[in-house]
Structure 1
Amino acid sequence: MSVNNSQVILPNHSVVQNNASAPVHQHEVRLIWGLSIASVVVYINLYLVQGVLPLIAGTFDVAIKHATLLLSVTSFSMAFSLLLYAVISDRVGRRVPLLISLYLLLASDLLMIFVSDFSQLLALRLLQGVLLAAVPAIAMAYFKDELSKGAMLKAGAVYIAANSLGGIAGRLIGGALSLELHWQQVIGVVLLLSLLGVIAVHRLLPSHSINSGSSTLSILDKKPMSWLTSIQDDFRGFCLHLNDVKLRGIYLVGGLAFLVMVNQFSYIQLHLMAPPFNWGRFQVTLIFLCYLSGTFASFYSGGWIARFGREAVFRLALAAMFLGGLVTLMNTILAICLGFLMSSFGFFLLHSGCNAWVAQRAKIHRAKATALYLCCYYLGASLGGPYLMPFWQHWGWRGVVFASSLVLVLLAWVLFKLTRTIPFESSSTKLAAS
């Protein structure tokens, strides 16, 4: 039976067409922009240190290779904290833990201005990873709980575009400010920008649930539980999604794709700093402007998936990532920039599609499903460096492209299995029905 002309009456009595092209109402727009701005704040703070590593090394008298630990420890604590926020938000709701984490992030930025040695800074960055995890762990589940079906794809597209903009801004702001300002002044500027963003998020996020018929908790979650039973139910929620073959495949896709993407950007900076290019430390951060093609892809991904189907869009994304790496082997500035524009376009198209797919497939314990995806996502990034290092040491950039291509072949096989397998009901759907 066709549903293209069916209508849904929202709590404010507005009428929405129940399809992918349905209009997005003002309260939905506020939620989308609120979480997108929160995402920009998070990724500016996460990737700031990549642009200021020389400044940090000089300020705290450490080697640059030791200064890189500031990003590693943050990513590590962030990855595992995603699972914690998934549990908390399924228990107490989405808005409160998200806002608390953002205000505590501001406090941690303020403390960074007064640190006197590198070990203190390292500890603060470890703490920041815990705080930064809240937004990515909660956002897609928040969208799924509160938005209409028509708004969901649009929300995922805008949100992932905001991720890429935050990643670009963090690296470029840090690199540019480090040329003229001291460490404390750089953090002061970032604190001010983050404060403005958090205030905007607080004002934009609805204080009450938009969809009164929706709940962030499952029926089982609503029952009074003992402490032990509560932990067991949370564990059951994670196992539920890990037992879903489709979701496991999506998690693997995200991890493999980010393994290639983020580490290619790391190694291309080393390549561009070496002869014959000899780029400076700030110049190499400009390669992250290639993320803008990913911003474009993310923004339009929802419409493309609705129009052409997930399988066709994923094939395009994978082809762009694979061909982008090959184009860089021409080893000219133009070819490298073009190749990374292609790779970024493909990666963010794939990532935004997977993010929305996870949120749509998980019927209960939604934040846990998203957290597992992002945990695999960041785990892939952490494994990519050691995996690509021997290829870089022996064959330089060509070795990195070759090793990345091997991963993309595996990714193509996983995508083939995911998109060609006859659709089946998810395990979370079965549990919710029972």
Structure 2
Amino acid sequence: MDRGSETTAERLEGGTPAFRRLNLALFAAGFATFAVLYCVQPLLPIFSEEFQVSAAVSSLSLSLSTGFLAVAMLVAGSLSDVLGRKPIMVAALLSSALLTILSALAPTWPILLTTRVMIGITLSGLPAVGMAYVSEEVDRKSIGLAMGLFIGGNAIGGMSGRLITGILTDLSSWRVAVGAIGALGLVAAVMAWRSLPPSAHFHPRRADLMDLLRSFAAHLSDPGLRGLYAEAFLLMGAFVTLYNYLGYRLMASPYLLSHSAIGAIFVIYLVGTASSTVAGSLADRFGRQHVLWAVIAVMLFGVALSLLSSLFAILAGIVAVTFGFFGAHSVASSWVGVRAQTAKAQASALYLFCYYCGSSIVGTLGGVFWASWGWPGLAGLVSALLIAALAVAFRLLRIGPSL
């Protein structure tokens, strides 16, 4: 590689055809990743009925995927340091799409869960690796736009995957719906293979387990980062648990909503796009530590609203929870990158590990509360998590301006 290839001018710049192709491929990759991961969430009541399993066991179709994703993500970034970014990303998209199609054909519950475990492992090659790819290949002035489209694809994919699944399940069956999501994943894999430019600024590194462990240990010794990791677990656990069992409540009497209507509720995710922007702007103005506790308080207010019997009040509560969650996640995740002085990728990987562990562990635990005490019990669990998150936020407030 000549010296010129290392200059900033050689990186992908906004407005060029290569940059547009990259953005299209990254958006499609982000869309497919979260569509595949979360398409089963509105199907939990159907799985309970078809496979004769409890709500908690049904939630394993999502919790196992996010749990194995959390663990695998800790090593996926390091693996891409050795093998390269684009090959890992394309392989992740292709394999997870094929596994999603296989899951639609699963004849038994254990086979369905096995495919979902494998999907979680294969998807780990997208989130962290995609961010590393953007930081290496895109001009500094254009990184924000490229990263924003990648993350935007995540949000819209998560919403659309649930919505498409709900509609197609009403029109046909859950198997057709999941198969369609897998087909979208295949399209995204082809787009990534054809449109993502080969890495021009990637330099392979020798895998060093001890360096990785030292980075993790250094981050975990920082009380500020430990607090942010706790927030990731608590906030995501509360958020996913509420959505996991909302369908059970609203499909039952007196609401009797259809699968399409349940899927349409996830359009509320669009509120998250606005709240992320608002929270980020407020954090720049008033400080992250002051904004974080406020948006968590908004989540608690939303949980309280959801206890009312009115469908309008329930939906208003879910809107408040969604607004607060995306605002809190935006503040906390960006805070990690500011707080970590070295090995920022590993610091972010630990945050995502805790984030998806919250989804996996609490998401399944919520099924026990739902089965035992109904929505009041579930709301009690979520409220306890948010009160703990609020306590951590106040502790971060006391740590000081070094955050």
TM-score, reference length from structure 1: 0.77
1:418 and 2:392 equivalent?
Answer: no
1:62 and 2:51 equivalent?
Answer: yes
Per-residue deviation, 1:271: 2.5
Q: 1:151 to 1:298 in 2, by over 3 A?
A: farther
1:100-139 aligned within 5 A: 100-112=91-103, 115-139=106-130
1:317 and 2:312 equivalent?
Answer: no
Deviations 1:68-125 (A, max 9, x none): 4322332222121111203213444433312221122233244446555444333222
Q: Alignment length, in residue pairs?
A: 395
Structure 1: tracts of 5 or more residues without a match: 1-8, 17-23, 426-434
Q: 1:49 matched to which residue of 2? A: 40
Per-residue deviation, 1:263: 0.6
Residues in 2 aligned to 1:93 and 1:366: alpha-carbon distance in whole angstroms: 19
Q: 1:34 to 1:420 in 2, by over 3 A?
A: farther
Q: 1:298 matched to which residue of 2? A: 276
Answer yes or no: is the 8 Å Cα contact 1:161–1:298 preserved in 2: no
| Structure 2 counterpart of 1:181, from 169, 172, 175 | 172
Q: 1:21 matched to which residue of 2? A: none
Answer yes or no: is the 8 Å Cα contact 2:292–2:332 preserved in 1: no
1:28-177 aligned within 5 A: 34-53=25-44, 62-65=51-54, 67-112=58-103, 115-145=106-136, 158-177=149-168
Amino acid at match of 1:399: G
Residues in 1 aligned to 2:393 and 2:140: alpha-carbon distance in whole angstroms: 24
Per-residue deviation, 1:269: 2.5
Per-residue deviation, 1:183: 5.5
Amino acid at match of 2:227: G
Per-residue deviation, 1:135: 1.6
1:374 and 2:356 equivalent?
Answer: no
| Structure 2 counterpart of 1:343, from 321, 325, 336 | 321
Per-residue deviation, 1:254: 1.0
Q: 1:115 to 1:148 in 2, by over 3 A?
A: same
Per-residue deviation, 1:204: 4.7
> Could you tell which deviates more after superposition, 33-42 or 303-312?
303-312
Q: 1:329 matched to which residue of 2? A: 307
Structure 2: tracts of 5 or more residues without a match: 1-5
Q: 2:218 matched to which residue of 1? A: 240
Answer yes or no: is the 8 Å Cα contact 1:254–1:373 preserved in 2: yes
Answer yes or no: is the 8 Å Cα contact 2:227–2:392 preserved in 1: yes
1:12 and 2:3 equivalent?
Answer: no
Residues in 2 aligned to 1:57 and 1:393: alpha-carbon distance in whole angstroms: 12
Per-residue deviation, 1:288: 2.0
Per-residue deviation, 1:265: 1.5
Answer yes or no: is the 8 Å Cα contact 1:153–1:302 preserved in 2: no
Answer yes or no: is the 8 Å Cα contact 1:102–1:198 preserved in 2: yes
Amino acid at match of 1:41: A
Answer yes or no: is the 8 Å Cα contact 2:167–2:263 preserved in 1: no
Per-residue deviation, 1:154: 5.7
Q: 1:208 matched to which residue of 2? A: 199
Amino acid at match of 1:244: D
Q: 1:315 to 1:71 in 2, by over 3 A?
A: closer
